[in-house]
A = this chain, B = another copy of it.
């Protein structure tokens, strides 16, 4: 067991390090490391039930930290343009993904999972490019970061509904119930959870305080597990709970300290999660004529979906403005992978389709930065009015 963890952890760190040096996202290196060392290629380890449990733990903390970087107040602050861009960027890729799978004769639940996997932007990659080029305070950056927050929440709601469908009978009333449940959970988590965290936090801190060097961390972990369990019990994916638990802590004044405490957990568990995601890809199948063309088509639709959806919503700001925002929203990452993994584990998504989604996540992450750099460096950028700092995700 420890040997497996050693292999997973070390290969993740080395591959991530190499990719970062090549100016490519670390997560792509981690996934590819998993593909290479996994059971379908080198076979350095077998994926057992224990690995799945470890991956589940990793993804719970991953989604918690995604939530922790989504201050609910910033949701209310994002402008109308960001809401339009985020919404259009969810709707169009979802329809494209669903449409593609449906047209190819896949089942409705599988098509829904693919649609959901195509929705959520992984804004970290774009944010890093914008930071490197010192463009993170521009209006374009503000719209992208704001839209990505909208995107995350909408993506989570779509996942909640879709993952619920995977287990039940597919009927209009079931879909309606799941949608109501998901929205109710999201609203209740924030509306009831916020004051509860503010009230419980001092008491919990008092009881646990002496035994724990970091009582807020203990409360955060407890709530992260607790919300995941509740979400799971009402038929949603557990990670939805972890995400909303993270949101609750995002606005506390101690949030930066909590983010620091979460970092080592993140550093330990999340790279292992990405390696395991890569290891589940049957790489021999992926490069067959049955799978690869559809995977590339899916990737193309994922790119066009965001470009067209987000671009159209941003068009009033000018063509260059719309194009830059569209490109900035292209990368998919953790959430897309998580959706595909849940689909795979629940037996709704086939291994072939899972491989296509992983390919889509890798390609979209690699394609965006080289296109984004010249766009952000263009003279048109200088004509943009500056936006305020510190909105959306850091």
- List A residues at the B interface (Cβ < 8 Å): 1-3, 5-6, 9-10, 13-14, 16-21, 26, 29, 49-50, 53, 56-57, 60, 207-214, 217-218, 221-222, 225-226, 228-229, 232, 238, 261-265, 267-268
A18 contact set on B, CB distance < 8 A = 207
Q: List 5 additional A-B contacts (Cβ < 8 Å) besides A2-B232, A9-B222.
A: A2-B228, A13-B212, A17-B211, A50-B53, A217-B267
- Whether A208 lies near B60 (C-beta < 8 A) is no
Of B218, B225, B263, B265, which contacts A2 at CB under 8 A? B225
Q: How far is the CA of A59 from the CA of B316 in the complex (A)?
A: 59
- Whether B213 lies near A267 (C-beta < 8 A) is yes
- A214 and B13 in contact (CB under 8 A), knowing A2-B225, A6-B229, A50-B53? no
A19 contact set on B, CB distance < 8 A = 211
A154 to chain B, nearest CB (A): 25
- Whether A268 lies near B265 (C-beta < 8 A) is yes
Q: How far is the CA of A228 from the CA of B5 in the complex (A)?
A: 11
Q: How far is the CA of A124 from the CA of B196 in the complex (A)?
A: 35
- Whether B56 lies near A1 (C-beta < 8 A) is yes
Q: How far is the CA of A280 from the CA of B2 in the complex (A)?
A: 22
A229 contact set on B, CB distance < 8 A = 2-3, 6
- Whether A263 lies near B17 (C-beta < 8 A) is no
Closest B residue to A10 by beta carbon equals B222
- A17 and B209 in contact (CB under 8 A), knowing A225-B2, A228-B2? yes
- Whether A213 lies near B20 (C-beta < 8 A) is no
Q: How far is the CA of A341 from the CA of B213 in the complex (A)?
A: 27
A232 contact set on B, CB distance < 8 A = 2
A124 to chain B, nearest CB (A): 12
Q: How far is the CA of A261 from the CA of B265 in the complex (A)?
A: 9
Closest B residue to A208 by beta carbon equals B17
- Whether A268 lies near B221 (C-beta < 8 A) is yes
The residue in A208, A221, A265 that gathers the most chain B C-beta atoms within 10 A of its C-beta is A208
Closest B residue to A232 by beta carbon equals B2
- A208 and B268 in contact (CB under 8 A), knowing A50-B50, A225-B5, A263-B214? no
Q: How far is the CA of A214 from the CA of B267 in the complex (A)?
A: 8
Q: How far is the CA of A13 from the CA of B390 in the complex (A)?
A: 35
A28 to chain B, nearest CB (A): 11
Q: How far is the CA of A19 from the CA of B209 in the complex (A)?
A: 11
A212 contact set on B, CB distance < 8 A = 13, 16-17, 267
Q: How far is the CA of A229 from the CA of B49 in the complex (A)?
A: 21
Return 18 A-B CB contacts under 8 Å, by A number: A1-B53, A2-B60, A3-B225, A9-B222, A10-B225, A13-B211, A16-B211, A16-B212, A18-B207, A212-B267, A213-B263, A213-B267, A214-B263, A214-B264, A221-B267, A261-B264, A262-B264, A265-B268
Q: How far is the CA of A345 from the CA of B35 in the complex (A)?
A: 35
